Amino acid sequence: MSTFQLSRSIRKEKASKGTVFPSQITNEHESLIMVKKLFATSISCITYLRGLFPESSYGERHLDDLSLKILREDKKCPGSLHIIKWIQGCFHALEKKYLHMAVLLLYTNPKEPENVTEIYQFKFKYTKEGATMDFDSTSTSFESGTNSEDIKKASVLLIRKLYVLMQNLGPLPNDVILTMKLHYYKEVTPHDYQPPGFKEEVNSHLLLFEGEPVNLQVGLVSTGFHSMKVKVTTEASRVSDLENNLFLENSTTEIVHQGLDCDEEEEECNNQMQRMNFVYSQQSSESSRKKKKVSEPVKNFISNSK
């Protein structure tokens, strides 16, 4: 299912509450639809609440008591078309079970794309070991088999947490530039594979984080066939109004320095913190040597909507 079809199908559904996600997940196909919608809804939430696109670039859907803004094709806003193509490329890689991680990066200087100001990580796994929902919160945790109702509750909670986080973050700099990096499972991904809208990353830069970074844990949802984990890295000063530590992985002055494509186990074992700029190299860790194939968009997007 393409992103355009996804947006249209969501808008065509009845306006009854709770219809954004599938009512049941009994097989891998239904799970794939669920993960696609959860990913697209998350990206839509981020771009809308960070003020990256105009109101005309979104359709409206309702999920419980949440009013969701879903990205749609807006010919008056080329940037939204870029993002939709990126999401469609991610869908293609998800269908083939190649995609390990999609990373949405924001930076401000077109001459220095390695100096990032905000990072959104979406990490994917493919499994048939049973569903678990772990939101890295002492007060919220779901564990079950392939219970569709629990999966829906977990997905709604992830979106709620993402909305709360986006609404409490301080503003971005003006004229930010968006790009997306796709990391793959090297063992199964053909060397020449590139999803629609992406090309092979040629210039592998070190990423330097502007200012003081903070690592925020949003959540993880597993259906028994797929799992998606969401993390956000932003400037510490932008979370000064966040009244609780619901999202904080460490403190506002510490961040795991292993690199973007570390697995949770590796992060735990290599619990190295630093109070300096966040730096990573795609070739610096064992994890990236295993999954070093990276794609980047054919064209990036500059937001000047502020």
Q: Residue 174: pLDDT band by 50, 70, 90 thresholds?
A: confident
Could you say which DSSP state residue 64 is in?
Answer: T
Evaluated on CA atoms 208, 214, 219, 220, the torsion sign reads positive
Query: Is there a contact between 213 and 239 (Cβ–Cβ < 8 Å)?
Result: no
Residue 9 lies in a domain: no
Residue 102 lies in a domain: yes
Of residues 188, 29, 182, the one with CA closest to residue 97 = 188
| Partner residues linked to 137 by β-bridges | 140
What CATH number corresponds to the domain at position 90?
3.30.900.10
Domains of the chain: total: 1
Using DSSP bridges, classify how beta strands 58-63 and 66-71 pair: parallel, antiparallel or unpaired.
antiparallel
Both structure tokens of 49: 């609440």
Residue 264 lies in a domain: no
Which DSSP helix (H) or strand (E) runs through 47? helix 28-49
Give the pLDDT of residue 26. 83
> How do the residues of the chain divide into helix, strand and coil, expressed in percent and rounded to 5?
30, 30, 40
Residue 4 lies in a domain: no
pLDDT digit string (tens) for 80-121?
Answer: 888 999 999 999 999 999 999 999 999 999 888 889 999 999
Residue 288 lies in a domain: no
Report phi then psi at 59, rounded to 5: -100, 165
Give the pLDDT of residue 166. 92
Beta-strand runs (E) in 13-158: 58-63, 66-71, 99-107, 115-126, 132-137, 140-143
Query: Is there a contact between 221 and 133 (Cβ–Cβ < 8 Å)?
Result: yes
Residue 118 lies in a domain: yes
pLDDT digit string (tens) for 58-72?
Answer: 999 887 777 889 998
Q: Which residue has the higher pLDDT, 107 or 275?
A: 107
Residue 300 lies in a domain: no
**What does 188-249 look like in DSSP terms, one character per residue?**
TS-TT---TTEEE--S-PPEEESS-EEEEEEEEEE-SSEEEEEEEEEEGGGGTT--S-SSBS
Residue 266 lies in a domain: no
Structural domain harbouring 102: 28-135+145-246+271-275
